[in-house]
Amino acid sequence: MSENNTTSVVSKIWSFCNTLRDDGVGYGDYLEQLTYLLFLKLADEYSKPPYNRTLPVPKKYGWESLTEKRGAELELHYSELLRELGKLKGILGQIFIKSQNKIQDPAKLSRLIDMIDKEQWSTMGTDIKGQIYEGLLEKNAEDVKSGAGQYFTPRALIKAIVKCMRPEPMKTISDPACGTGGFLLAAYDSILKNYKLDKEQSRFLKHGTFFGNEIVANTRRLALMNMFLHNIGDIEGENFISSADSLVADTGLRVDYVLTNPPFGKKSSMTFTNEEGEQESEDLTYNRQDFWAATSNKQLNFIQHIRTILKTDGKAAVVVPDNVLFEGGAGETIRKKLLETTDLHTILRLPTGIFYKQGVKANVIFFDNKPASKDPWTKEVWIYDFRTNIHFTLKKNPLKVDDLDNFVDCYNIENRHKREESWHPETNPEGRWRKFTYDEIINRDKTSLDITWIKDKSLADLDNLPDPDELAIDIIENLESALESFKEIMRSI
C-alpha cells in the first residue's frame, strides 16, 4: 500500500471520529473502540486461508457476529462481547480487560464496523498497519484535551535515539514506562533494517526481545495492540508489557538495552481518603536496597531503576527533564554515582516545543553500565546543545528526523571513542558539540550536568528576534515550566 493510501485510510478513520465527537466520544475513547474492532477483524482474517490459524476468539464473539447484527441487538451484543473477551487469558484478554462500549448510537457503531470491514488488514504489510495505527496515536496525542500527549514521545526523537543505540539481534530491550510502545517499535524496525536475520534471530525478535511496563490501563492496551499490529508476540502468547509499577521492586529482570521516556511530573505520590472523608495526596518514596538515594522525585527513581535492570554491559538512553541534571540532595548523590558506576558519555539537550505536554525542558542522557571498579568509569561527557537558539512548534515547524542528523553524525555510532568537538573557544564558540572531563564536572556546584555555553541570541540581538509566534510559544513554555515548579512546591508544603 502506498504512502497516499496509508494517509487516506488514516484520514478516513479519523474523519469518522469527528462524527462521533458530536455524541461526546473523545479521541481516546474512539481510539480504544478502534483497537477492539481492529483486533477482532485481524483475528478473523488470520483464522481463514491462507493463514488458517487457530485463534482463541470464541466463534460467538468473532468478527462476523458483529457484521451480521444491527440496531439495539448489535449494541447489546458488542457490550457482552467486550465483557466476555476481557475474561480470557493471554494478550487477547489483556487487550479487552475492563473494556466498555463508548459508542452509544448503534447506527454509528455499524458504520465504524463496515468501514473496518471494507479493508483487508492482514494483506497490508506489517509496517503499513503499524503506520496507520501510529498515525492514529499521534492524532490522539495532538488532542490537548485527551491528555494523551504525555504518553507520546515525538517519533523523530525516538528514531534518532534508536539510530545512536543501534540495538543488535538476540539482545533484550526494555522500556519501563513504555506508553504506546514507540521506543520498542523503533528498536524492532531498526533491527529488521540493519540486520539480515536467520530463523532463530527472527523467532527471538518476535517472542523474546521486548519487555515493558505501563501502569495506565488504556495506554497499555494501545501498546499491546501496537505491538500486535507490528507482528510482535502472539495473540495467544504471554503478554510482555506488565501493568505493574516498575519502580516498586526489582523483579530480577536484566536487559541489554533500556530506551525510555519516563513520565514527567517530579513527585511520585499516592492519593487516599483521610478521616474527614477528604482526598489527600502523600509523597511516595520507594525504599529499595538497590537504590543509591531515597527520594520522591520520580525521574531520579527511574534513573536508579534503569541502572539496576541493565546487564553489566547494558546500555541506556533516557529522556529526562532538566531537574535531573541540576537538582541537589538526592539528585547530586545519584549523578555522582552514575558518573562513577557507569560511563555517562553523552547528553543531548532538547529544544522546547517538541513535546505535546507544554513547558517541558528535557534532555536525553546516554550511559553504558559497567562492572564494579574503584575508579570512576566516566572519563568525559559529550554534550550536544540542540536547545539554544533553536525553535520548534508542534504545528508550523515540527521536529523532523533529519533535524537530528547532525547530532547522530557527531555521536559517531561506528566508534564513539573517536569523536571530534565542533566547539572551539576561538574559531567556533557557537559549536554545539563539546566535551567536559570527569574532573570538570565533579568540581561543578552540585555536580551539575546542566551546562550551556552558546550565547542566547534572542537576549543579545534585538534586531533579529524570532517570529512573534515563536516568541509567544517560548513565553508559554517558560510560564508552563514555572507553573509546574510552583505546583511541585505547593504539593510539598
Convert the pLDDT of each residue in 397-456 to its tens digit: 889 999 999 999 999 999 999 999 999 989 999 999 999 999 999 999 999 999 999 988
Q: What does residue 473 show for φ and ψ, rounded to 5 degrees? A: -65, -40
Most confident of 7-21, 135-149, 315-329, 459-473: 315-329
Instruction: Compute the half-sphere exposure of residue 193: CA atoms within 13 Å on the CB side of its CA.
Output: 12
| 72-99 confidence digits (pLDDT tens) | 999 999 999 999 999 988 788 888 988 9
| CA-closest candidate to residue 244, choices 226, 217, 264 | 217
Query: How much is the pLDDT for 233?
Result: 83
Query: How much is the pLDDT for 276?
Result: 54
Q: Which helix H or strand E contains 486, and what residues bound it?
A: helix 468-492
| 223-239 confidence digits (pLDDT tens) | 888 888 777 887 666 77
Average of per-residue pLDDT across 192-213: 95
Query: How much is the pLDDT for 274?
Result: 47
377 vs 266: which has the higher pLDDT:
377
C-alpha cell read off for 469 = 509566534
Average of per-residue pLDDT across 294-303: 92
Average of per-residue pLDDT across 274-297: 71
All structural domains of the chain: 3-137 (1.20.1260.30), 141-492 (3.40.50.150)
Residue listed under C-alpha cell 471520529: 17
In the predicted structure, residue 270 carries a pLDDT above the cut 50: no
Query: How much is the pLDDT for 384?
Result: 97
CA distance 133 to 369: 34
What are the E-state strand segments in 322-413?
342-349, 362-369, 380-385
Beta bridge mates, 258 = 174, 316
Average pLDDT, the chain: 85
Residue listed under C-alpha cell 566547539: 423
Q: What does residue 365 show for φ and ψ, rounded to 5 degrees? A: -105, 135
* Confidence category of residue 354, pLDDT binned at 50, 70, 90: confident
In the predicted structure, residue 380 carries a pLDDT above the cut 60: yes
* Confidence category of residue 484, pLDDT binned at 50, 70, 90: low
By the 8 A CB rule, do 231 and 206 touch?
yes
| 444-470 confidence digits (pLDDT tens) | 999 999 999 998 876 655 555 666 766
Portion of the chain with pLDDT greater than 90, in percent: 48
What does the angle CA 479 – CA 302 – CA 312 come to, to the nearest 5 degrees?
140
| 150-173 confidence digits (pLDDT tens) | 657 888 999 999 999 999 999 999
CA distance 323 to 379: 23
| Range scoring the smallest mean pLDDT among 1-10, 54-63, 195-204, 437-446 | 1-10
Determine the residue type at 304: Q
